[in-house]
Chain A
Amino acid sequence: MRFSDFSTATFDVLTESTVFCIPLSPIIMAGMTLRRPRTYLRTNRLLWALSQEELGELMGLSHDAISKYELEQRPLSVTVILASEIVFGKRADELFPTLYKAIQDELGKRALEMLERLEGKEDKESNRKRELLGGIPGRTREIPDV
């Protein structure tokens, strides 16, 4: 077990007796959900040593607004999403995975419904729509469950 092995993920594991754990009820453990962060706005702000005031200044918002977005106390605006992509050079699905996944899932369901309604129609417009809707699954991004 060495720090230098992190990149290859091949660790020698120390024996269980070397760790002191408070035993947990299996019932409690079974009820645990393995959550991922819903937004990476704060992570990226801290990564680049920006204060909430500084990020707010960049985005034309107050530091209080940035705090609320970071704490998920305010729904994300288009301005914040686009500005975050530009400032941090990352895609919206990387910065706001939960929101992106929710939109992507809903959009997929609606696209399937529209495709079903087009069944049996062979006119040019319907074929054109089918081409667009059929391509949506290929344009979705893999987002870890949150």
Chain B
Amino acid sequence: MTATASPLYKGLVLAIHPTSRGFGWVLFESPLSPVDWGIASAKVGRNERLLKRFGRLLSHYEPAVLVLEEFEGNGTRRNDRIQRLCREMIHIAASKGMDTPVYRRSHIQICFGSVGAVTRYEIAEVIRQHVDAFSHRMPNKRNRWDSEDARQSLFNAAALALTHFAMNAAP
């Protein structure tokens, strides 16, 4: 009987992009091959519920990597709740033996800069073109007076995962 284990396979990569209402998440098996994705939200007891959702994701899929965007330090404008949420996610993931890289937004912009995408919307547009699974989830272009579409967090998470793959690819 035949069975192959690709030496390039490094486990499932879970990328999370927190928002004011919850988080968008994408689970990738390899670049451009998402396995599962979604948007989690909670109105009351937000961090507690979101962490339960996060825990269920980890126990179901057992990803090897959790990727987040830089959430504290100079140049970030994340509020305290989101900073706490991200720290707790990293703590839980690390305790399960997962790798927990955190990328700056500038890393994502470098990764997608080669195709002329700089803003979050432009990056989402590039992802929509390359990842068929997300083509129907593309949000409309945001007006300045609009709040961000929740679906944008899905693309932000995907951009993080793709940046992770690009930065960890064999030369």
Residues of A within 8 A of B111 (CB): 1-3
Residues in chain A near residue B1, CB distance under 8 A: 104-105, 107-109, 137, 140
A75 at the interface (CB under 8 A from B): no
Complex contacts, A42 vs chain B, CB 8 Å:
36
Query: In the complex, which residues of chain B have a beta carbon less than 8 angstroms from the beta carbon of A19?
Result: 101-103, 107, 167
How far apart are the CA atoms of A28 and B100 in the complex, in Å?
Answer: 13
Give, as a whole number of angstroms, the nearest-CB distance from A45 to chain B.
Answer: 10
The smallest C-beta distance from A41 to any residue of chain B, in angstroms, reads 11
Q: At the interface, yes or no: B149 with Cβ under 8 Å from chain A? A: no
Q: Are A71 and B60 in contact (CB under 8 A)?
A: yes
With both chains docked as a complex, state the minimum distance between the C-beta of A54 and any C-beta of chain B, in angstroms. 14
Mostly, the A contact residues are loop
A4-B114, A34-B9 known; A142-B3 Cβ under 8 A: yes
CB distance from A118 to the nearest CB of B (A): 19
Judged by a CB distance under 8 angstroms, whether A101 is at the interface is yes
- Interface size, chain B (Cβ < 8 Å): 54
Name the residue among B5, B70, B107, B167 with the largest chain A CB count within 10 angstroms: B167
Nearest residue in A to B169 (C-beta to C-beta)? A11
Task: Count chain A residues whose beta carbon lies closer than 8 angstroms to a beta carbon of B.
Answer: 47
Task: Find chain A residues with CB under 8 A from B4 CB.
Answer: 142-145
Which chain A positions have C-beta within 8 A of B99?
Answer: 21, 24, 29
B66 nearest in chain A by CB position: A22
Check B143 for interface membership: any CB of A closer than 8 A.
no
- A1 & B115 in contact (Cβ 8 Å cutoff): no
Interface membership of chain B positions 152-171, coded 1 if the CB is closer than 8 angstroms to chain A and 0 otherwise: 00000000001001111111
- Which residues of B are in contact with A by a Cβ distance under 8 Å? 1-6, 9-12, 29, 31-32, 34-37, 60-64, 70, 90, 94, 97-104, 107, 110-115, 117, 126, 130, 132-133, 136, 162, 165-171
In addition to A24-B94, A105-B3, A144-B9, 18 A-B residue pairs with Cβ atoms within 8 Å of each other are A2-B111, A6-B162, A6-B165, A9-B170, A11-B171, A18-B167, A20-B102, A24-B99, A29-B99, A31-B97, A32-B64, A35-B11, A42-B36, A46-B36, A101-B3, A104-B1, A142-B2, A142-B3
